Each structure stands twice: as structure tokens, then as C-alpha cells.
Structure 1
């Protein structure tokens, strides 16, 4: 009996020793003053236009050399990244760092932070990341956006703050056709209706065919959809909006019904493209760029994005004024990707890791992460401003930019004052002009970017998917068939049955906490 007791005691002591050794290993102090270069494994996603992997970019190697690290990259495409990331977390076979905007969803960040697979960055930022720390002191609102409900930061963002980022859509009308008919730019919903009738009744492109489409859009697309037009009837927000501190679902508001009735009047008169609710972005864009102009009015990001030039037959117009004098436009919370940089539980060198990414939150370095290195993609002028260099012949700007830097998938925080130092391209100038035109009509209250708890995030995903799918099926039917008054109450009741009240309750809770 005594021998068995002694043997059991020895086993327990060995187990305790092993656990103690593991804890010491996990908590071992990283020697950041060592001259020895450390190796980090990193998983990154490259932009669709990129022809270069991250391990082939001298700019990224220079940033790694600055903090004495060697980064072994696994570079994925946007098509394969989600499956790869899910597999890594499921198997717990993790890289030391994740690096790429748009790589993890908000619910993923919170979930894997709670399981310990993503490391809390708060203390690392406080002690070893002066640029990030300064950013958060300057912009506590940004820090609040990326802080998880448990009070920790598990991912650093990409944040691109500019005038253009505050407005997705722009409303265009064919100015050449207006001039042919000696018509002014419409300013009200009634005038717009009459203008579209004139486009329909005349051979505007002078080809002898009845191929004119007075008004087209892509209904479910945020940029190419007609969702800001509801502002003429006193309600904005394709989905979630805020008024007087109260969160609402725009497509369930009584004023939204008036917008739908107006859209039906346009459809009934043959003024809306019959394919506007079914065609995809590629088909829609091909209509915009048709060699023989066929569209009278449309929604898009900009002329430059549609045609590759600013000066075209189309001009962007202000929001229409509705029958009750309402004149509003949708607004964005800004260009933020919650995910960008995360340290995993596999990482034995978190200090070097945070020091590496902290460089990217320096203003000049952040510009280079976004636009490309100085001397290659951009040039610093004597007055301190930045000029974007032209792409070589035969290469698009996006290919040129993403050959040397992560670009649109990089990690940085370029604030408005930073972006103002960049000498804009014609397309950027065009878009900022539109943003300034729409700004006076945008609501002051906008639902912010926030992180939800795992439970609330999962619930919102289920509720919003069901509710939005039902809305996207039903509203087009109302516009086409015109029975909105008879069916509206049943539509709202179905939304309520699907959990609309619970959806709004969750959104309201986080909005109140954010304020």
C-alpha cells in the first residue's frame, strides 16, 4: 500500500513539474534586446490585382529588418483565404500572425479571442507600440470600435478615413440627353419622373431603335442600388439607421412604403430597367459602358470607376426633393476593416511582432503600405505632399500598386489629415466632390462599426440573414406589382415574426454602449 502511495506521489509530482514547465515556457520573457534575428510565420491575403506575393516585396522585408525579424509568409488569394483560415483555427495549427484587412469577420475576432487563439494586444500596445498608442490617444473612437465586448483588443484594423469613404453611392443622369431635350437637371421626384418619360419617348441615342433604358440600377448592391432615393421620402439607411438615438430598420418604416410606391409608379410607366432586380454587377456595368449609350439615369461609385475618365455624358446630381420636402442621402461610418493584424497563441515573439506592425501606423509608412513605396509608386514633393506616380504602360493602377505593397489589404490608419497630403488622382478628386455634395443631406446619427459578443454576433447573423433575404425578395415584388398598400401590414408582421424586434434590441444595446 505504501509503495503504491509513493508511486502515485511520484507520478503527480512529475505531472505538476510538466505543467509548471509548460507555464514557464508559455510565459517566458521575450528577449527583444537580443541581436539574434527571430523568425515569424505569417498568413496574408493579397489583393485580386496583385501579381506579387508578400515574401517578394522588398518594402515588407525592410520593415521586418528594422525590428530584426525574418517573416516566412503564406500568401493566399481572396478565393481561398476563408477556407484556409477556418481550417487553421479548427485544427489549432496557427501562424504566429495574421496580416490582412478583411481576413477575419468581427464575430471571428471575438470568438477566437475568447478561446485564447488570438492574443489580447492591449499591454503590448501600451508598452511596445508608440505609434498605435498615440493613434488611440488621438482617436479614442477608433479604439472603441475595435475593442471587443470583454474590453480587449484582439485585432488591429485597416482604417482609411477620407471624404470619399463617407458616401458609397452617387446618382448620375445623362446630361447629353437632357441637353438634347433642352431639359434642366431634375431636382424633385416629380421632375425626375417626367424626365425619365422624356428619355423613354425619344430616340435619345439616335440609332433608330427603341433601346433606351431610362433608369437602371442593381437593387441588392450598396453602391449601384437606388437606396439613397428613399431619402426623398424621409428615411435613409438600406438596413439599419438611427434617429434621435433610436435604431430602426429602414425597410419597415411607413415612409419607406411611400418610396416603394414611387418606385412602382416609375416601373409601371416602363421607366425602370426590367432587369434591375436580377442582373449582376457585370451585366449592369456593361450597360453603363455600352458603346451606344442606352441609360438615362443610374447609380454608381464615380464616372472614373465606370469609364476610366471623369468627363463623360453623365453628371452626378444632388438628392431629389420629395413631395413633403424631404431631401436626404445615405452615409457610411467610414472605411474600416476590423481585422488586419492579429497575434496568435502560437507566437513566441509577440513584442517583435507588435513592433513590426507598429511601424505601419507611422503616417509616412502607412501611406506607403496603402499606395506603395516612395520612389516606386509615390513621390514626396518639396512641400511635403505626396504625388501618386502613373502606372507603366500596359499595367493598371491596381496592378502597379499591389506589385510592391499590400495596398487595399494592408494594415494602417490613414486619417483624413493624412489623406489630405496626398495629391489626388482625377478619380479621387471626382469622388470627393460627390461626397461634399451629399454631405449636407446625410444624417448626423450613423450606426457605428462595433464588435459584438460571440452570442450576439451569432444571433445577429441568423436574424439579419433571414430578415434581409425576405426584404430583398419582397420589396422588388412591391415595386413591380404595385400592391404595397394591400400587402404592407402583412410584410411588416412577417418581419416581426422573423425576429425584427430582437434584431433591433441587440443593435440598440451596442449603440447605447458605444455612445
Structure 2
């Protein structure tokens, strides 16, 4: 019985993606019988037409027929590779994806399908997803150049068995506004009306929010001093004023101990973190934080902002999302102990499993060449900007700008609606390498660029991508670790809202330790050491 047949039988019998038939860490040959039909460079990619099927995640703004969009219709003509995109909405995507794996009826590749690191490690070990290391070396010069330029990228992609199984969605680490994502914006018009300077400390920020609350004539309707999509974003933005999150917000529970460089710190039970929660509790109980921050969604937040009722807000850009052009971002706030860290910086490796190839794919070499094009300058411009002269123009200084057909559509379409017939990156999760000069989202607007420049001086010196875990480590994280993190998040929310008094902090810390904190940190340490060892 072949390993593949044994695997499928195990999946069918158990209904889960586990098997004892695959040998952990075994190298899997990825060279196909069809490699001879692949051209070494240029277009078309193949010497004779081929057809492949990709399971594909789709966001709401995108077309319901990828094959008819400009980018994919044109690319099919360029490559002689016909791709059938089997679309699945991002809502419920994980369940559909897992069913495909469990049934054995999976496609040639997973495109924009949000495979997790656990998926990559598990299905890579089983041979369902093929290792890409050798294929990248031979057929992906653009992506190999990115790996060589950014060592953190290779660290984040390398699974515990030493292999790479995916092409990611990766943001240029120098594109700081993109990594910040959702800055803290303050209403400049209200600052002027109140006669206040822009707050640079947590105390001054509190004073500004209090002044906003006590000046109802600033706006029509009920004033909201401070809001964001959720409390997680607020915590991630403000925790740096107490020195937490010094490796970015990709790791919400651990960072590096500033007093013992190289040692991990579980900061959510630190005594200074208690002070941070006390500050948030003060903002919340004094009604300076939007009371609906735990219940509203992003659309409801944007509607409040569009009504001109918010004094400070955490969002990507009030100008594009709320039609409010009188907000500006700024540098990190300084906390009570002199800490001034812009902690809300996301990992550059946004989606580790944006594109992966399965063992059913009879043309892995051609498929790697197909995806690699979009990690180069020419392909990325084509992918993100569309058709020169129709959706974008090149300016005298070399910069790229969307045409008025896109930005001021004569049929009244929004920018996303106007772009949807040309490209499919709307909504994110795409495999690609995002750089400022060819990505024209709200993070590229002048106010976002200015915000990034202000934040740069206090940004973390190193941003960690997610760590990757062995099967045994992941089992702990999915059980004990998940329970521990859920307990912490729920208890913190109770402290912030006042449902639980902070006088119970010591008992809370003792309970966290009793729930398995020592083993939790042991696993994080092992994963961190592997992460550091990747060349």
C-alpha cells in the first residue's frame, strides 16, 4: 500500500487529517514528470497549454468570477496556463478548507485560502502539501530574492521539519504605515477648538479625552471621546506606553524581557501590566472609551466616525473610511515610567499560507513559476495596479497613480467597485510582496506616510513573525494554551470594565500560573529558539 493510499484511508476512516503512514520529517520528491514542458524563463511558462484548479478564498468586494477579471484573463494568455478558481467566501472558509483535506478531494493548489502554520506543518508532514525548498531555488528567482533580502521571512515560513510549504502574503518591513495598519488618530479640529496641544503622554491623552467629553458642543449628536473596532486594538496601541509589545502585536502574550535580553517575558501578568489595565479601567469607567467597543463591528464604528462624533479613533485611515480629513496620527505616547514604544506594529508575514501546492498537482514547476511572477516588480505592479493607461498611469517621477476612472468613477462606483473587474487582491490574504510604490491602499496616502514617519523613532527594533510549532506543541496550544489565553482575555475585559476589581489581581496571577503557564512558556521558548536558528 502506498503512503498516499494509506493516508486517504486513514482520513476517510477517522474524518480527521492525521495518519501514522507518513514519516515525520521525511523529504518528499517534488520533481514532476512534466518538468520538461516548463520554459526556464519568460512567457509562456509552459510549452503546451495546461489547466489547474485552485481553491480560492474570496472577500466581498472581489468579482464572483476571477477568470473574467483583467489580471487573470491576461495572465492566462501570457502563460498558457488556465486556472480554474474555485471560490469560497472568507466567512466559513476554514470549515470548507478542512473538509477538502479530510475528504481527500482537494485541488492542485490553495490560493488565498488562509492556511495556518499548523495546517502547513500537519499537511506538509503528511505529504498532502509538497515542500517547496528545491522548487523555489530553481523556479522562483523573485521569491528567492525576497527570502535572501529578508531573513525574518525565511524564519517565519520554515516549519519545524525544516521545510517551506507555502508562498506568503508579506509586507515590506520598510513600509511602516502598512505594518501599523490601524494607527491612533486624533481630531485636530477639536484640539484647536479646545486650545490644547496634541497629547504626547498617557496623562495628556486622558486630559484631552476628558475635555472632549465635557464639551458636548463640539459635535451634533452624542460625543465619543475615544473608540476603535475592539478592545484588542486599543490594548495593542496603548500597551507600549508601559513598555509592552516590544516585538510587535503578532505575539499578544510574550515579548523580550528588557532586563534580560534574549529571555522571553510573559508580560500579561507583569505588575506594570496591572498599571496599564488600571489606566484602561479609568478610561472605560469614566466613559472616555466608547461603551460599545465590545459589541459594535467595524461598519458601525465607521458610521459613527462619518457622523463626526469621535475625538480619537484607532482605524486605518479616517479620510478614506469616514470621509473625515481633519485627523492626524502621531508618535507613540509616553507612559508613567518613561516608556515610549509604538507597539502596534504587525508582523510583515501577514498570512503564512497564502499559496500552497498539493501532491495532486502534476505541474509543480510550472505552478511555482506562475506564482513567482507576482513577487517581482513587473508582476506585482500588474497584480496590484491593473492595466497601465486604463487603471493607472506612471508619473514623471516614476510613481504610480490610479486613473480618475478608478478614483472618481463616472458611474459613481467606489474605488474598490471600479477595481473589481480588473484585479482580485481586494480584502487581503493574497500571496504577494507588498511595497509602497505599487500598493495604493489607504496606507499609502500622505497622512498615513506622515504617521509612519512620526512612529518610526519609537517602533520596535525587531518585529517577530509568528513562531511555528511541532505537532505535540500545537496540541498543547490548542487545548491548555487556548484555555489559558481565553481566560486571560476574558479576565482582563472584566478588569477593564469594572466587573472584576483589580484588588483580585494577585489571585488572578496565581490562577494563570496554576493553569499551565510554565509549560506554555517552555513551548514558546523552544519555538523561539527554532525561529532564531533558521538561516
What TM-score do you get using the length of structure 1 for normalisation? 0.84
Structure 1: gaps spanning 5 or more residues = 1-22
Greater Rg over alpha carbons, structure:
1
Q: Per the alignment, in what secondary structure is the counterpart of residue 275 of structure 1?
A: coil
- In structure 2, relative to structure 1, the CA distance for the partners of 1:367 and 1:501 (3 Å cut) is farther
- Kindly indicate whether the alpha-carbon contact (under 8 Å) linking 2:442 and 2:448 is maintained by their aligned counterparts in 1: no
Please tell me whether residue 216 in structure 1 is matched to residue 227 in structure 2. yes
Superposed CA offset, 1:100-144 (max 9, x none): 2x5211111111111111111122222223323333333343223
- Kindly indicate whether the alpha-carbon contact (under 8 Å) linking 1:384 and 1:421 is maintained by their aligned counterparts in 2: no
- Kindly indicate whether the alpha-carbon contact (under 8 Å) linking 1:63 and 1:356 is maintained by their aligned counterparts in 2: no
Distance 1:249 1:352 in 2: 45
- Kindly indicate whether the alpha-carbon contact (under 8 Å) linking 1:388 and 1:422 is maintained by their aligned counterparts in 2: no
Alpha-carbon offset, residue 49 of structure 1? 0.3
Please tell me whether residue 230 in structure 1 is matched to residue 243 in structure 2. no
After TM superposition, the structure 1 = structure 2 runs for residues 315-334 of structure 1, keeping only pairs within 5 Å, are 315-330=328-343, 331-334=345-348
- In structure 2, relative to structure 1, the CA distance for the partners of 1:59 and 1:214 (3 Å cut) is closer
Q: For residue 502 of structure 1, what is the aligned residue in structure 2?
A: 519
Q: For residue 105 of structure 1, what is the aligned residue in structure 2?
A: 116
- In structure 2, relative to structure 1, the CA distance for the partners of 1:302 and 1:458 (3 Å cut) is farther
Distance 2:128 2:33 in 1: 18
After TM superposition, the structure 1 = structure 2 runs for residues 197-346 of structure 1, keeping only pairs within 5 Å, are 197-205=210-218, 211-222=222-233, 225-236=234-245, 238-243=252-257, 244-290=261-307, 293-309=308-324, 311-312=325-326, 314-330=327-343, 331-346=345-360
Distance 2:305 2:440 in 1: 29
Match of 1:39 among 48, 51, 68: 51
Q: Per the alignment, in what secondary structure is the counterpart of residue 297 of structure 1?
A: strand
- In structure 2, relative to structure 1, the CA distance for the partners of 1:270 and 1:134 (3 Å cut) is closer
- Kindly indicate whether the alpha-carbon contact (under 8 Å) linking 1:235 and 1:255 is maintained by their aligned counterparts in 2: no
Superposed CA offset, 1:34-64 (max 9, x none): 8432222222223320124221124324333
Distance 1:43 1:440 in 2: 42
Distance 1:91 1:478 in 2: 45
Distance 2:271 2:441 in 1: 42
Pairs aligned (count): 481
Q: For residue 14 of structure 1, what is the aligned residue in structure 2?
A: none
Q: Per the alignment, in what secondary structure is the counterpart of residue 216 of structure 1?
A: strand
Alpha-carbon offset, residue 421 of structure 1? 5.9
Superposed CA offset, 1:365-419 (max 9, x none): 11222332333322234554322224123222222333222213432223x4xx3
- Kindly indicate whether the alpha-carbon contact (under 8 Å) linking 1:159 and 1:413 is maintained by their aligned counterparts in 2: yes
Match of 2:431 among 370, 393, 411: 411
Match of 1:145 among 156, 164, 167: 156
Distance 2:524 2:108 in 1: 34
After TM superposition, the structure 1 = structure 2 runs for residues 3-14 of structure 1, keeping only pairs within 5 Å, are none
- Kindly indicate whether the alpha-carbon contact (under 8 Å) linking 1:213 and 1:271 is maintained by their aligned counterparts in 2: yes
- Kindly indicate whether the alpha-carbon contact (under 8 Å) linking 1:264 and 1:482 is maintained by their aligned counterparts in 2: no
Superposed CA offset, 1:269-321 (max 9, x none): 4433333333333333332222xx43333322222243235x22x33343322
Distance 1:469 1:45 in 2: 27
After TM superposition, the structure 1 = structure 2 runs for residues 5-154 of structure 1, keeping only pairs within 5 Å, are 28=33, 30-32=35-37, 35-100=47-112, 102-154=113-165
- Kindly indicate whether the alpha-carbon contact (under 8 Å) linking 1:174 and 1:297 is maintained by their aligned counterparts in 2: yes
Q: For residue 442 of structure 1, what is the aligned residue in structure 2?
A: 459
Structure 2: gaps spanning 5 or more residues = 1-27, 39-45
Distance 1:195 1:58 in 2: 49
Distance 1:171 1:215 in 2: 10
Q: Per the alignment, in what secondary structure is the counterpart of residue 103 of structure 1?
A: strand
Q: Per the alignment, in what secondary structure is the counterpart of residue 291 of structure 2?
A: coil
- In structure 2, relative to structure 1, the CA distance for the partners of 1:431 and 1:346 (3 Å cut) is same
- Kindly indicate whether the alpha-carbon contact (under 8 Å) linking 2:111 and 2:355 is maintained by their aligned counterparts in 1: yes
- In structure 2, relative to structure 1, the CA distance for the partners of 1:273 and 1:350 (3 Å cut) is closer
Over aligned residue pairs, what C-alpha RMSD do you find? 2.9
Q: For residue 354 of structure 1, what is the aligned residue in structure 2?
A: 368
Alpha-carbon offset, residue 83 of structure 1? 2.7
- In structure 2, relative to structure 1, the CA distance for the partners of 1:442 and 1:250 (3 Å cut) is farther
Please tell me whether residue 396 in structure 1 is matched to residue 401 in structure 2. no
- In structure 2, relative to structure 1, the CA distance for the partners of 1:217 and 1:103 (3 Å cut) is closer
- Kindly indicate whether the alpha-carbon contact (under 8 Å) linking 2:303 and 2:322 is maintained by their aligned counterparts in 1: no
- Kindly indicate whether the alpha-carbon contact (under 8 Å) linking 1:50 and 1:402 is maintained by their aligned counterparts in 2: yes
- In structure 2, relative to structure 1, the CA distance for the partners of 1:422 and 1:285 (3 Å cut) is closer
Distance 2:111 2:166 in 1: 10
- Kindly indicate whether the alpha-carbon contact (under 8 Å) linking 2:231 and 2:293 is maintained by their aligned counterparts in 1: no
Alpha-carbon offset, residue 255 of structure 1? 0.9
- In structure 2, relative to structure 1, the CA distance for the partners of 1:241 and 1:371 (3 Å cut) is farther
Distance 1:168 1:504 in 2: 28
Alpha-carbon offset, residue 431 of structure 1? 1.8
Distance 1:375 1:322 in 2: 50
What TM-score do you get using the length of structure 2 for normalisation? 0.81
Q: Per the alignment, in what secondary structure is the counterpart of residue 512 of structure 1?
A: helix
